A and B are shown apart, each in its own frame.
Chain A
C-alpha cells in the first residue's frame, strides 16, 4: 500500500460554482474553506457535490445554520476517511446534508486527530444517532455529547477499529499473533 500523507482534496477561500446564496449567507459567520476536486474540476450535478472544511467547534454550528437558515432538513450520509500518515489530524469526518426543495447538497468536512472528539449532531437529526455510532464503531472517532456511543456492527468486546487503513484485511488472528 502506497503511503498517502495528504488527502487529494484541495481547499480555497472562494466558494465554487453551484453553491447557492442561501448557503453562502448561512455559512458567513464561520471560517469555511471550500474544496475543489483536483483532477475533476467539472464535477457537479450527480457526480460530486460542493464541499467545505470547517473546524471541530464549528461542525455542529455549521449544520445547525444549514438546517435553520438554508432549509437543509435531510442528513444524507455521515462517515469518515482515514489517512494514517497525515499529521496531526489523521481523520476527516464527512457529513452530507440536503435541501429537499432545491435538491442542493453540501458536503461538510472536519478533521480530527486520533483520540480526539467531534461534537455530535444528534440534537439536529435523529438519524445522526446510528450514523455516528457506525463511524465510531468503524474508526474509533468519538462524538462528544452523543447519548449512547457504543459499537453498532461489531461485538461490544471487539478489539480494534475495522475500517482504519492500518487494520489488517483479514482481521486479528488471535491464534497466530
Chain B
C-alpha cells in the first residue's frame, strides 16, 4: 500500500513570508473557540446572538439564505465589529425534504431516484452509495463488471463535483476565468453521463444488484482518453491559481483547522485530509473496485483554505488515475446479479416478456422480503464520508434509514473558524469547505 502523499506547492516556502507570518500569528487568536450563544435557550426560540456588553459597536448581519456565495440556501448569522466577524451561527434546514422519511415509506428500489437529489453535483456517487448499502441489506453482491462501472462513475462524479467546487470557489474569491475552464470540462463529463445513464443530471443509474445499462467499449475508450488528458488540463488550472499572488494572499493562513478540531467536529473528505489526517474510506475499507487500483491519498499540512484547495486539485489527478486503471482491468460478464428475489429483471425483458413484467411489478410494489438486521455502509463521497445506517425489520422498505450527510457534519465547524476573519474571507472559507445544501438538508 502506498502511504499518504503530502501536497505542497512548489514555491510555498520561498514567497510571501511577511504576509504569511503575520497571518499565521493572528491565527493563535482566530482558532480560539468562541463561546456558544448564551441566553435563556428556550427550546423553540429562534437563534439569538448575544450582543455582549457593548451593543452599540456591533451589528448583526444575515448572510444568506439567498447569498450567491453560500452555494444554496445556507444562512449564517454574523455578529460583526466593523469588517471583522465576532460570532457566526450557521443555520441550515431551508431545503429539508424529508429524504429519510421518503425512504422508509417507498422502499429500497424506489428510493434510488431520490438519491440523485442529495448531493446534486455528484448524483452517480450517491446512487452507488445507496445501492451498496441496500445490497448489504439484501445480502447480495453485484457482479464484477457492475462494480467496475460504478467505480468509474464514482470517480467521474468526484471529478465533476471538485471541478464545480473549484470553479465556484475561485469565482467567489474573484478569479472568474477558472470557472470557464472547469465548466467546459464538466460539459464533457455530463456528455459521458448522458451516454452512460440516459440523463445528464439526475442519473438514477444503479440498481440493487448491478447497474441499469452496460458501458459500451467506445464509451470506455473515450473516458480513458479524457482521463489521460485531465492531467495536462489540471496543470492549466493550477497555473491559473496555485502560484497566483492574489489567490494565495486570499487563502493562505485563512481559517486554519487543526487536526484536533477536525476530528472533534467529525470532518471528513478533503477538509479533513487538508488538516493532515490521511483518512479515506476508499483506502481504509475498500469497496467496489478500489482494492484493485493503485492511488494515493493527498494530505495537507497546514489545514488552511489554500491546503484544502491543493488537496482537491490533487484528488482530481488521483481520480483520473483510478479511472484509467479500472478501464484497463475492465472485467467482462453480466451487469446484474442473478438474485431474482431482490434484483429487478433487465429492462429489455420487462418490455417484451410477461414473466419479467410481473416480476418487476411485484418487486417495485413491495413484494420483497429483506432479512432483518442492521447494516452500516459508508462510502467516500466527493464531500466526505457519506452513507447509510439501515435497520431492517423485513419487508421491502427499511424500518429506519439514516443518511450521514458529509456536508451537514462539515458545516458545523463554521461557527468556530469564521469568527476573527473579515467578511470578505467568509466566501473563501465557504468555497474551501465545499458543501452542497441539497445533501446537508436531506
Bound-complex Cα distance A51 to B413 (A): 29
For residues 391 through 427 of chain B, which have their beta carbon under 8 Å from a beta carbon of chain A? Answer: 391-395, 399-400, 402, 404, 408-409, 412-413, 416
Distance of A17 from chain B, by nearest CB (Å): 16
Assess A130 versus B105: contact at CB under 8 Å? Given A81-B400, A148-B36, A151-B44: no
Bound-complex Cα distance A75 to B266 (A): 6
**Which B residues touch A74, using CB under 8 A?**
263, 266, 279
A45 and B266 contacting across the interface, CB-CB below 8 Å: no
**Which B residues touch A47, using CB under 8 A?**
136, 375-377
Q: Is A19 interfacial (CB-CB < 8 Å)?
A: no
Distance of A160 from chain B, by nearest CB (Å): 12
Stretch at the interface among A24-32, A55-63, A99-107: A99-107
B399 and A125 contacting across the interface, CB-CB below 8 Å: no
A125 and B266 contacting across the interface, CB-CB below 8 Å: yes
A163 and B101 contacting across the interface, CB-CB below 8 Å: yes
Bound-complex Cα distance A2 to B396 (A): 12
**Which A residues touch B441, using CB under 8 A?**
153
Q: Is B109 interfacial (CB-CB < 8 Å)?
A: no
B44 and A150 contacting across the interface, CB-CB below 8 Å: yes
For residues 90 through 109 of chain A, which have their beta carbon under 8 Å from a beta carbon of chain B? Answer: 94, 96, 100, 103, 105, 107
Q: Is B37 interfacial (CB-CB < 8 Å)?
A: yes
Selected from A43, A73, A138, A148, the residue in CB contact (under 8 A) with B41 is: A148
A152 and B377 contacting across the interface, CB-CB below 8 Å: no
Bound-complex Cα distance A43 to B378 (A): 15
Closest to B387 in A: A77
**Which B residues touch A148, using CB under 8 A?**
36-37, 41
B285 and A39 contacting across the interface, CB-CB below 8 Å: no
Q: Is B120 interfacial (CB-CB < 8 Å)?
A: no
Bound-complex Cα distance A162 to B98 (A): 8
Q: How many residues of B contact A (CB 8 A)?
A: 54
**Which B residues touch A22, using CB under 8 A?**
none
Assess A152 versus B399: contact at CB under 8 Å? Given A79-B389, A96-B389, A169-B101: no
Q: Is A173 interfacial (CB-CB < 8 Å)?
A: no
Bound-complex Cα distance A76 to B287 (A): 18
Q: Is A115 interfacial (CB-CB < 8 Å)?
A: no
B279 and A125 contacting across the interface, CB-CB below 8 Å: no
Bound-complex Cα distance A81 to B104 (A): 12
B395 and A40 contacting across the interface, CB-CB below 8 Å: no
Distance of A136 from chain B, by nearest CB (Å): 9
Closest to B442 in A: A153
Closest to B106 in A: A169
**Which A residues touch B180, using CB under 8 A?**
none
Stretch at the interface among B11-19, B225-233, B366-374: B366-374
Assess A153 versus B378: contact at CB under 8 Å? Given A8-B373, A81-B400: no
Assess A38 versus B373: contact at CB under 8 Å? Given A46-B285, A81-B400, A169-B101: yes
**Which B residues touch A4, using CB under 8 A?**
393, 399
Selected from B43, B105, B373, the residue in CB contact (under 8 A) with A150 is: B43
Assess A46 versus B377: contact at CB under 8 Å? Given A40-B371, A74-B263, A163-B100: yes
**Which A residues touch B393, using CB under 8 A?**
2, 4, 7-8
Q: Is B352 interfacial (CB-CB < 8 Å)?
A: no
Q: Mark B280-319, 1 if CB is under 8 A from A, else 0.
A: 0000110100000000000000000000000000000000
Bound-complex Cα distance A126 to B410 (A): 11
Closest to B400 in A: A81
Q: Is B239 interfacial (CB-CB < 8 Å)?
A: no
B101 and A76 contacting across the interface, CB-CB below 8 Å: no
Chosen A-B contacts, 7 in total, with CB atoms closer than 8 Å, are: A2-B393, A47-B375, A51-B374, A125-B264, A129-B412, A147-B41, A150-B45
Using A125-B266, A156-B46, A163-B100 as known contacts, list a sample of 7 further A-B pairs with CB atoms less than 8 Å apart, ordered by residue number in A.
A7-B391, A8-B373, A9-B374, A38-B373, A49-B376, A152-B93, A162-B98
Q: Chain B interface (Cβ within 8 Å of chain A)?
A: 36-37, 41, 43-47, 92-93, 96, 98, 100-101, 104-105, 136, 139, 261, 263-266, 277, 279, 284-285, 287, 371-378, 385, 389, 391-395, 399-400, 402, 404, 408-409, 412-413, 416, 441-442
